[in-house]
Structure 1
Amino acid sequence: MREPVDSRRKRILSVVHARGAVKVSSLAEELDVSAVTLRRDVEELARAGMLRRGHGVVRPMGGVERTTAVPAPRGGEPAGEGGAIALVVPERHSYLYETLHGARTALEAAGEHITLRIAPQAAGAERPQVERALAAGVRGLLIAPRWRSRAGEEADYGWLSEVEVPTVLMERRPRAGSALHALDSVCTDHWYGIHLAVDHLVSLGHRRIVLAARNDSPTARSIRAAFAEIAGARPEVEDWAVVLSSPTAGPGEPGSREEAPDLAALVHGRGFTGAVLHGDEDALMLVQKLAENGIRVPRDCSVVAYDDVVAALGSTSLTAVAPPRGEIGRAAAELLMHRLAHPPGTTGPVRRVELLPGLEVRGSTQELPHPAH
């Protein structure tokens, strides 16, 4: 016989008042109730003012809240993560480390305790790091997954959408309509960054432009798509191409066979006078290779780098699109703290924030000389 609704809800209230704070998933399992039914009951009880609901946790109304301590997982979890904010970023990623620094600065200024977790380069490495942080009792998550391919990105959508603490994605914009479409995120408007680069080169008279870019991150894929759209739509651009920036800038999508061309030969062969190079290290190496093949920057080919992490340090200081990396982290941290400081349902709609990059003009671009008549 099906249990009466009133009886089931009394059991829910009894457990919540005894424990102080209980995960919705754990409560459903303990009471032998389906997750859908349990969430519906919790929603009705919260609407009636009998308990508080939010981000996968149910709490009693009023009084001093008693929370059950979360035991450290097996394997020797570092102590003191309970109540902290977890920051999860991939290893060896200088671009995202500046974003991490921005987030850390904002969180420390607010007196928040931070636990940093570095995900190895292996596919799917973020998930175990997040699960360990959740088991240790963190109350919020800032994460920038590596997502080397679209397939790897899609594989993370399911579990990441079910994280039961407030979560903000940093410098990532999930596929429209995916399980993460409605997750808070803060990222750079990379379309605008490519617009700045192409517009700058076009304004200097360049009509034949090549993009040499990586293909192993969401940023790289956004840059490639934006360049194809923008260059293809500009009537001033007579010829354009998108190529891989180096043999190690992939792997790209599973099954793809994109190879990095000889950029100097491509510039010579198709008469490109402008180039956008992503990211900075690849850009500096490509400029060196151009010089070794007799192509002088900017006299023969103007170059715009994309990232501006080390673009200014080359023998020729590179003009560069500069994403607001630190501001991305700060904005993500502030959004997360806003979510944590207010009861669920009172902080407004999901926010998908985009910050505009800038263009730092240096010595690697110049006006294209007009041919003599």
Structure 2
Amino acid sequence: MREPVELRRKRILAVVHARGAVKVSSLAAELDVSAVTLRRDVEELARTGRLRRGHGVVRPLGETVPRTAAPAARSGRPIGDEGSVALVVPERHSYLYETLHGARTALEAAGKRIALHIAPQAAGAERPQVERALAAGASGLLIAPRWRSSADEEADYGWLAEVGVPTVLMERRPRPGSALHALDSVCSDHWYGIHLAVDHLVSLGHRRIVLAARNDSPTARSVRAAFADIAAAWPEVEDWAVVLSSRNAGPGEPGTREAVPDLTALLRERGMTAAVLHGDEDALMLVQRMAENGTRVPQDCSVVAYDDVVAALGSTALTAVAPPRAEIGRVAAELLMHRLAQPADHPRAVCRTELLPRLEVRGSTQELPYPTV
């Protein structure tokens, strides 16, 4: 039978009052409680004034911080991350760094301390970072997991749903009906972004369009699904295809193997006159390769990039769909601060916010000078 919450919290108080300062990790092991559950209990006990939280420890109300910690406190440096907002993002991810900047700007303007945690490029790398942040006393969490495949994503649902502090997902939308369906999230409407790209190309007379896209992130999977949905339903689109943009754009879903076609050959074989390329670096590389093989942009093929991080920097500035990366971070941070200002037992409706991308028209698209056959 599951132990009643109040009984578990009484056990926590009994140990802390008997022993003084206790490490959170040691207390969880001693009471045979998960670290996430214990941190949630400790946060509530501290909020109601029954104990004190410190840097990875809990203390009785009457115990003071050891003198050895006084110099750091007097110097104005924070002791640990208590009360801070933890920001967890993957390493080497330029797209999400703009989101990080947007969140940071909003948090700093509100006087919130930030504890940044960079997750390595490995499946499940975010969990240790989150646990470290919570052990240090972070009061809220903004997170953008890498989630290279759907399997990676599903593996994180259970523990992330039990974090125990207000949490907002940035640029991620969990599977409907999953354990994270009811978690606050702020992300781009990638369906609308692809709609903008296809609508722009169709308005220029293009009827045969290929999507060359990555397949190693939630954004990539959303872009692929949206393109297939829109191209199949749009009467003006006569032929379309979805292919992998580069050899390092996977691995994609377990058990799948996608070949990387010669895009120039595909364009010629199927009479394609336009391409949507995701993401920016792959788009610039593909445009260079197309030029080397005699395909001119936009004369022979109009190109729309998806991301707009560096799309404008190519020798031919690329027309691009620009998701609102910085705004995603700002809105997510504001939502989290709203949650932190509410009492823990305050009833709330979950927010699943989508922001619309925009289209930046540059020199890589033009009207088709001849009708398609």
Answer whether TM exceeds 0.5 for this pair.
yes
1:178: how far off?
A: 0.6
1:80 aligns with 2:80: yes
Does the C-alpha gap of structure 1 residues 16 and 203 become closer, same or farther in structure 2, counting only changes over 3 Å?
farther
1:94-118 Cα offsets, whole Å, 9 max, x none, are 0000000000010011111111110
Note if contact 1:324-1:356 (Cα within 8 Å) is conserved in structure 2.
yes
1:254: how far off?
A: 1.1
> Match of 1:71?
56
1:189-232 Cα offsets, whole Å, 9 max, x none, are 00000000000000110000000000000000000000000000
Note if contact 2:53-2:137 (Cα within 8 Å) is conserved in structure 1.
no
> Match of 1:237?
237
Q: What CA distance in whole angstroms lies between the structure 1 residues aligned with 2:218 and 2:141? A: 20
1:14: how far off?
A: 7.3
1:292: how far off?
A: 1.0
TM-score for both structures, normalised by structure 1: 0.84
TM-score for both structures, normalised by structure 2: 0.84
Q: What CA distance in whole angstroms lies between the structure 2 residues aligned with 1:120 and 1:157? A: 19
1:58 aligns with 2:58: no
> Match of 1:114?
114
Note if contact 1:17-1:60 (Cα within 8 Å) is conserved in structure 2.
no
Q: What CA distance in whole angstroms lies between the structure 2 residues aligned with 1:93 and 1:245? A: 17
> Match of 2:326?
326
Task: Provide the secondary structure at the position in 2 that maps to 1:58.
Answer: helix
1:250 aligns with 2:250: yes
Q: What CA distance in whole angstroms lies between the structure 1 residues aligned with 2:370 and 2:28? A: 74
> Match of 1:179?
179
Task: Provide the secondary structure at the position in 1 that maps to 2:52.
Answer: coil
Does the C-alpha gap of structure 1 residues 8 and 324 become closer, same or farther in structure 2, counting only changes over 3 Å?
closer
> Match of 2:355?
355
Q: What CA distance in whole angstroms lies between the structure 2 residues aligned with 1:260 and 1:56? A: 52
> Match of 2:125?
125
1:79: how far off?
A: 4.8
% same residue: 75
Note if contact 1:207-1:237 (Cα within 8 Å) is conserved in structure 2.
yes
Task: Provide the secondary structure at the position in 2 that maps to 1:363.
Answer: coil
Q: What CA distance in whole angstroms lies between the structure 2 residues aligned with 1:257 and 1:13? A: 51
Task: Provide the secondary structure at the position in 1 that maps to 2:117.
Answer: strand
Note the 1:169-318 alignment, pairs <5 A: 169-318=169-318
Note if contact 1:55-1:165 (Cα within 8 Å) is conserved in structure 2.
no
Task: Provide the secondary structure at the position in 2 that maps to 1:98.
Answer: helix
Note if contact 2:295-2:301 (Cα within 8 Å) is conserved in structure 1.
yes
Residue identity matched to 2:53? T
Does the C-alpha gap of structure 1 residues 336 and 270 become closer, same or farther in structure 2, counting only changes over 3 Å?
same
> Match of 1:146?
146
Q: For structure 1, which runs of at least 5 residues remain unmatched after alignment?
A: 40-53, 73-77
Task: Provide the secondary structure at the position in 2 that maps to 1:211.
Answer: strand
Q: What CA distance in whole angstroms lies between the structure 1 residues aligned with 2:8 and 2:279? A: 56
Does the C-alpha gap of structure 1 residues 138 and 270 become closer, same or farther in structure 2, counting only changes over 3 Å?
same
Task: Provide the secondary structure at the position in 1 that maps to 2:211.
Answer: strand
Q: What CA distance in whole angstroms lies between the structure 2 residues aligned with 1:131 and 1:27? A: 15
Q: For structure 2, which runs of at least 5 residues remain unmatched after alignment?
A: 58-77
Note if contact 1:305-1:318 (Cα within 8 Å) is conserved in structure 2.
yes
Note if contact 1:86-1:116 (Cα within 8 Å) is conserved in structure 2.
yes
Q: What CA distance in whole angstroms lies between the structure 1 residues aligned with 2:164 and 2:47? A: 20
Q: What CA distance in whole angstroms lies between the structure 2 residues aligned with 1:173 and 1:157? A: 12
Does the C-alpha gap of structure 1 residues 110 and 212 become closer, same or farther in structure 2, counting only changes over 3 Å?
same
Task: Provide the secondary structure at the position in 2 that maps to 1:336.
Answer: helix
Cα RMSD after superposing both structures: 3.2
Note if contact 2:317-2:362 (Cα within 8 Å) is conserved in structure 1.
yes
Note if contact 2:13-2:51 (Cα within 8 Å) is conserved in structure 1.
no
Q: What CA distance in whole angstroms lies between the structure 2 residues aligned with 1:130 and 1:61? A: 21
Does the C-alpha gap of structure 1 residues 339 and 217 become closer, same or farther in structure 2, counting only changes over 3 Å?
same
1:69: how far off?
A: 2.0
1:279-303 Cα offsets, whole Å, 9 max, x none, are 0000011111111111111111100
Q: What CA distance in whole angstroms lies between the structure 2 residues aligned with 1:8 and 1:235? A: 63
1:85: how far off?
A: 0.7
